[in-house]
Amino acid sequence: MSEGAAKKEEKPRKFQAIRGTRDLLPPETALWNRVEQTAHEVFATFGFGEIRLPIFEPTELFARAVGSETDIVSKEMYTFEDHDLHELNLRRSRSITDIELFTEPTSVGIILPYAKHFLTEAKQELTAGKLPRTPSNEFLLARIESDLDYLATLTDATPRDAFRDRCSELRRNMQALELGPVISLRPEATASVCRAYIEHNMQQLPQPVKLYYLGPMFRRERPQKGRYRQFYQIGAEVLGGSDAPAIDAEVIEMVMMFFDRLELQGVQLEINSIGCRDCRPKYVELLRAALLKVKDKLGPDSQRRIETNPLRVLDSKLESEQGIIARLPRIADHLCEDCATHYAAVKHQLEMRGVIYRENWRLVRGLDYYMRTTFEITAKGLGSQNAVCGGGRYDGLVELLGGPPTKGIGFAIGEDRLILSLQESGKAPAQQGRDVYIAWMGERAHATAIRAAKDLRKAGFSVELPPVEQKFGKALGQADKLGAKYALILGDNEVSEGLWTLKTLADGSQAKYTEPDLLAHLRKSL
Ligand code: AMP
């Protein structure tokens, strides 16, 4: 290799944030903080307490709660096996590669020793408690053993197909062995809140329990404006107690008040009721039958959903399907009496609170756990990804996760989109400049400057203290660039007189103050 090529190779790799993730930088983070602070304040006035949840949970929790057929669980989760069985894992990979590579019965002698070694080690780890002793793992180990026993009896005359079938079964069994718990980065937080409610016996607290959370969620979606793979949600849940319609209305009122406080523009609330375990299945069948009649006029996605999840057809944004969807049966006409009464009362309760809503019978929401009330809020300036909040009632969820029968309702706000909308409508605060830039010259002035910076910061002002001496002209230029409101000028004269010069950068005026007067003056004017 030439010297030049070697140099080129040495150049360190430049790292970039992974697709779909991003850095949030100042001054934007000031807006994030304001949004989160407002959430803390508004939610507290409704009696909600903050819950901080783990970022990862067993995959099974999300599969059970969100639904294994949903896009989120079936294709968008970041999932991995959490284990430290690296040797065993390597041996497994090596064994599997052998099986894939050597497909003739004559090569059984190559495959067997390594696979046997893997089995012995796996059993040892099971005894040592490092390999999870689950029924599935115990079953798989027994199967692997019998696969290996069978392979050991083979002769060169064994038909190729029999050999290959058994080998692929062995490979599948090895692959299915769970070396550690399978966990996922959380794609949403409602499942975790319910898990925590059960784990901490919160049903023994005064009901309902009102909790809110904020933090990152992870979904492997196609990134675009307003859609990220790591995004942030602010959400709240009301668990336990009754399913009184006033609870649904108050939760919605709380989000609307939060948005109002932030002066979010173009806020539109849509609501719907998607029925309960009694009436929804009947409606779904009716919908499926109606969809089957118009099947050939629908696109491939909707055609597939007729079988898998007909409600999702109502979500379709496809222009050609809109006319057809408009003529489909509507759930509002097929709610059971209890659901219809509940829905009417939710609307009445919203009106009592002065919350303006629009009914949207097509609002079904993507997740399995919703029932009765569902709602979505959109805002201005977001293009096609304009939903800033989604929520609904999920009365069966806690029970589904092994807890007692529990009522539940909640929402999740997409914080990234909320921020985008605030920025688009000019509601973002301007960059916060420094209050005071200290322009000092000379060793004696440096000591005074350090003391002044400390006192000003103690008093709550933001202060920039240059670490090395600068000419006054350069210092003032720097103060300007940082958007400082004042420059405190400290030179030999100021120090010996005990009178400090304060320059107002907006108009260039300056005046002299003693230290206490200076503090009083700044307090008054900032
Ligand atoms: P969901 O949990 O899907 O009901 O989403 C609730 C809210 O989270 C949505 O209304 C969006 O505002 C936001 N959201 C969901 N997925 C994403 C994503 N990939 N990127 C940014 N925001 C998202």
The string of pLDDT tens digits covering residues 225-268 is 899 999 999 999 999 999 999 999 999 999 999 999 999 999 99
What is the number of the ligand 1 atom nearest to the C-alpha of 190? Answer: 2
Number of H helices, E strands in the chain: 20, 16
> How many angstroms from the chain centroid is the CA of residue 369?
18
Q: Which residues line ligand 1 (CB under 6 A)?
A: 188, 219, 221, 226-228, 231, 233, 387-390, 412, 414, 416-417
For residue 368, pLDDT beyond 90: no
Residue closest via CA to ligand 1's atom 23 equals 414
Q: d(Cα 73, Cα 220) in Å, to the nearest integer?
A: 10
Kindly state the DSSP code that residue 73 receives in the 8-state scheme: H
Residue 103's pLDDT is 86
> How many angstroms from the chain centroid is the CA of residue 191?
12
Q: Are 462 and 438 in contact (CB under 8 A)?
A: no
Q: Are 465 and 449 in contact (CB under 8 A)?
A: yes
Q: Are 395 and 208 in contact (CB under 8 A)?
A: no
Which residue blocks in 384-504 are alpha helix, DSSP H? 397-400, 415-424, 443-458, 472-481, 492-497
For residue 316, pLDDT beyond 90: no
Residue closest via CA to ligand 1's atom 20 equals 227
Q: What is the mean pLDDT of residues 92-113?
A: 90
Residue 53 structure tokens: 């949840």
What is the number of the ligand 1 atom nearest to the C-alpha of 387? Answer: 10
In 10 A of CB 346, how many CB atoms? 24
Q: What is the mean pLDDT of residues 502-506?
A: 95
pTM reported for the whole predicted model: 0.88
From 62, 66, 217, 421, the mutation candidate for ligand 1 (largest count of ligand atoms within 8 A of CB) is 217
Q: Are 388 and 412 in contact (CB under 8 A)?
A: no
Q: How far is the CA of 349 from the centre of ligand 1 (A)?
A: 27
> How many angstroms from the chain centroid is the CA of residue 144?
39
For residue 9, pLDDT beyond 70: no
Cα dist. 118→420, 491, 525 in Å?
Answer: 52, 77, 75
Burial (0-12, 13-18, 19+ Cβ within 10 Å), 224:
exposed
Residue 6's pLDDT is 56
Q: How far is the CA of 414 from the centre of ligand 1 (A)?
A: 5
Tell me, what amino acid is at 411? F
The secondary structure of the chain in percent helix, strand, coil, rounded to multiples of 5, reads 50, 15, 35
The edge-to-edge listing of strands for the beta sheet with 387-393 is 49-50, 209-218, 230-239, 408-414, 387-393, 371-378, 268-273, 358-359
Kindly provide the b/e burial profile for residues 359-377, where b requires at least 16 CB atoms within 10 angstroms of the residue's own CB.
ebbbbbbebbbbbbbbbbb
Q: Are 371 and 277 in contact (CB under 8 A)?
A: yes
For residue 2, pLDDT beyond 60: no
Question: What is the SS3 assignment for 177?
Answer: coil
Residue 454 structure tokens: 């400390």
For residue 4, pLDDT beyond 60: no
For residue 34, pLDDT beyond 70: yes
How many residues appear in the chain? 526
With cut-offs at 50, 70 and 90, classify the pLDDT of residue 139: very high
**Cβ neighbours for 429, distance < 8 A, ≥ 6 positions apart:** 27, 30, 31, 34
Taking CA 9 as the corner, what is the angle to CA 3 and CA 15, rounded to the nearest 5 degrees?
Answer: 155
Tell me, what amino acid is at 256? M
Q: How far is the CA of 108 from the centre of ligand 1 (A)?
A: 52
Q: What is the mean pLDDT of residues 507-526?
A: 93
Residue with token string 């009765």: 372
Q: How far is the CA of 66 from the centre of ligand 1 (A)?
A: 14
Q: What is the mean pLDDT of residues 80-109?
A: 91
Q: d(Cα 344, Cα 335) in Å, to the nearest integer?
A: 11
> How many angstroms from the chain centroid is the CA of residue 249?
25
In 10 A of CB 520, how many CB atoms? 12
The predicted-structure confidence for 208-231, as pLDDT tens digits, reads as follows 999 999 999 999 999 998 999 999
Q: d(Cα 486, Cα 488) in Å, to the nearest integer?
A: 6
Taking CA 147 as the corner, what is the angle to CA 146 and CA 149, rounded to the nearest 5 degrees?
Answer: 60
Q: How far is the CA of 232 from the centre of ligand 1 (A)?
A: 8
Tell me, what amino acid is at 248? D
Residue 181 structure tokens: 């718990």
The residue among 4 and 96 whose pLDDT is bigger is 96
Q: Which residues on neighbouring strands pair with residue 183, listed in sequence order?
A: 58, 80
Q: d(Cα 81, Cα 84) in Å, to the nearest integer?
A: 9
Kindly state the DSSP code that residue 17 receives in the 8-state scheme: P
Residue 106's pLDDT is 84
